[in-house]
Structure 1
Amino acid sequence: MPHCPFRLSQRIASTLVVTSAGLLLGSFLFSVFINLFLHKLWGPAVLPYPSAEQVGTDYLSAIIAKNKNYIPQHDSCTHTALINDIDQYGGAKIRDISVQSEWRSGNSDHTFEITTIRFDHHQQHEAWQPGEITLMTASNLLEPPLLPFRKIICSGG
């Protein structure tokens, strides 16, 4: 039987795909195991997703876009803060955005993080002005979860 290079490359490619999928699945299952059973002993195997910086960036984008549904109304404290931030910064042009998180702001297991969003903004005919929003985010690491996810639990101008 003649040697076929196409079948050989097909076999190599399928082996690589199966191996990669197996490694990813194995890592996922190992992280779930640690988060469920060994969380108290080792801490989280996977840091909360998305990062506090990403949550802050998404929050600012929602404010500029005047997205009042970004935070559900039943989260009354944070929804009220969202509406206040939209009233103040909604529709503004922004520049020089800086998003910084203090990941050890309260504890050492990445559960709570304070995120400060600083930027310059202006509405139509106004001059550029500095703006700042502070958020506190939390992950569901206290429950323990399968995988930790981060959300806003408190915000203020």
Structure 2
Amino acid sequence: MAWETFLAEATDVFVAKDTDYESRFMRALIHYNSKRGYEAARTIWAWEVEKKLDRCRTWVKRGDLQVKGEGVHDSVIDAFNYTVQWILYMNSSRRKENPIDQLNEANFYSLAAGYQVDDWVNFWANNGLLDLTDQVDKSVALLIANVMTIGSSETLQRRS
């Protein structure tokens, strides 16, 4: 699996979930920012990504996950998709645009493709969600890079 394949899959998952949930994540960011401020919206994003990264940490530590049929590949895609939406939200807010109006497949893919794998890992690290001095988080970062680029996801799916 190349990076482009991961982007296409992540975009497809985004479109399906955003449709099913009627843009619930973006609506939550808008709502909590308007009621409680930027930090509340950021907390919504960080909370969702942390849950997914914690699942990856569990897999790194134990080599197994109890919920079958939902492996680390799914968690990486979800963390990635929450982060793309968070950046879309921040960019739209800075430009005084309605983030919901910007939330579509083309904008999602365009923003996601504008960065490389290391940029995404570093974004999480720079925002305090990954500690690249910690051995487990270093392994999680490598796991994420593998899922995003070399297609180890099928092997990881079978093992988890």
Query: Could you say which TM-score interval applies, normalised by the shorter chain?
Result: under 0.3
Which of 1 and 2 has higher RCO (CA within 8 Å, sep 6+)? 2
TM-score by length of 2: 0.24
TM normalised by structure 1 equals 0.24
Q: Which has the higher strand share?
A: 1
